Amino acid sequence: LEALIDAKTKVIFFESLTNPSIDVADIEAITAIANRHGILTVVDNTVATPILCRPFEHGADITVHSASKYTTGQGLAIGGILVEREGLVSKLRANPRYEHFNKPDASYHGLVYVDTNLPPYTLRARLSLARDLGAVLSPFNSWLFIQGMETLFLRMQEHSKNALALAEFLEAHPKVKKVNYPGLKSNANYKNAQKYFKDALCSGLLSFEVASLEEATKIVNATKLYSLVVNIGDSKSIITHPASTTHQQLNEQELIACGVPSGLIRISCGLESAADLIADMKQALEA
């Protein structure tokens, strides 16, 4: 990562828990590199949510979330959340990478964002992006997100418990070649999950690999309880076969290069009973 940085680098952007490969970022290692070069870090914390992961406590500058996922919890509205850490202004001030924050903005009557006593990153995102592009939530969607946030804490516990139970079932099943879930001791991300996620809960996203594209298609179609759609973070469990949907334009080699083998199935574990989710998966695997 450090070797790729040059004078034009503006930001290091990464996901705390990645979708669809389900890896856990070493946040402190990445933010240390960024800080050595005075570069902003932006963490997409959509899948972990602030309930499980708090990137500011590990040196990150800005977090973003797709509110369309766990925040609403029912896929009811499209929206996003952007939060900057306290004191970010000192990283932007007199930093040649960020003249659009520390020099007068001609399109805003010469406003210098770092001199306003307001959170400069958020202020600029609102004044220029919201003004120029019109990305403003409707009051009704805002209300839906507030309803969702009231139960986010409880839901994240249940999503995580269900996903771990399903991952353990899948790992023991002979038709499953590999399970990707950072809550499993066998997973390469287990150590990072223990370090960065509250109570080592790992959210509701997991993926697993079966022998072939045909096998995966058969399993996806044989499930009854899982919705076959491409959303994540819903109260309903969701099953996705990336090779035939979100990544269908790629050939076999390209699929492997981007970590999506053709037999890979992704699950977003909902809030149904774990016993039902396991029973339905079992009948689909053995159908």
Q: Please report, as a single letter, which amino acid is at residue 172.
A: A
- Give the CA distances from residue 74 to residues 80, 246, 271, in Å, rounded to whole numbers and listed in that order: 15, 21, 11
Given candidates 46, 63, 237, 262, which one binds ligand PLP under the rule CB under 6 A? 46
Q: Smallest gap, in angstroms, from Cβ of residue 206 to ligand PLP?
A: 14
Q: Smallest gap, in angstroms, from Cβ of residue 177 to ligand PLP?
A: 25
Span interacting with ligand PLP, options 42-50, 187-195, 240-248, 275-283, rule CB under 6 A: 42-50
Site for ligand PLP in 91-150 (CB under 6 A): none
| Nearer residue to ligand PLP within complex by CB, 44 or 84 | 44
**What DSSP element (H or E) covers 13?**
strand 11-15
Q: Smallest gap, in angstroms, from Cβ of residue 193 to ligand PLP?
A: 16
| Nearer residue to ligand PLP within complex by CB, 66 or 102 | 66
Tokens 């839901």, residue located: 155
The backbone torsions φ and ψ at residue 88, rounded to the nearest 5 degrees and listed phi first, read -60, -25
Specify whether the CB–CB gap between 26 and 49 falls below 8 A. no
Q: Closest by alpha carbon to 183, among 158, 165, 208, 170?
A: 165
**What DSSP element (H or E) covers 50?**
helix 49-52
Residue 59 CA neighbour count, 13 Å, CB half: 15
Q: Smallest gap, in angstroms, from Cβ of residue 283 to ligand PLP?
A: 29
Q: Smallest gap, in angstroms, from Cβ of residue 238 to ligand PLP?
A: 12
Q: Would you give the binding string for ligand PLP spanning residues 47-76, x where CB under 6 A is met?
A: x------------------x-xx-------
Give the residue at shortest CB distance from ligand PLP: 66
| Nearer residue to ligand PLP within complex by CB, 219 or 232 | 232
Given candidates 29, 78, 94, 130, which one binds ligand PLP under the rule CB under 6 A? 78
Given candidates 23, 44, 61, 158, which one binds ligand PLP under the rule CB under 6 A? 44
**234 binds ligand PLP, rule: CB under 6 A:** no
Rounded Cα distance, 230 and 215, in Å: 19
Q: Smallest gap, in angstroms, from Cβ of residue 72 to ligand PLP?
A: 10
- Give the CA distances from residue 202 to residues 39, 156, 192, in Å, rounded to whole numbers and listed in that order: 28, 9, 11
How distant is the alpha carbon of residue 165 from its chain centre?
Answer: 21
Q: Smallest gap, in angstroms, from Cβ of residue 49 to ligand PLP?
A: 11
Scored b (16 or more CB within 10 A) or e, 52-82 reads: bbbbbebbbbbbbbbbbbbbbbebbbebeee
Residue 216 CA neighbour count, 13 Å, CB half: 25
Given candidates 5, 9, 11, 15, which one binds ligand PLP under the rule CB under 6 A? 15
Q: Smallest gap, in angstroms, from Cβ of residue 240 to ligand PLP?
A: 12
Which residues of this chain interact with ligand PLP, rule CB under 6 A?
Answer: 15, 19, 44, 46-47, 66, 68-69, 78, 80, 232
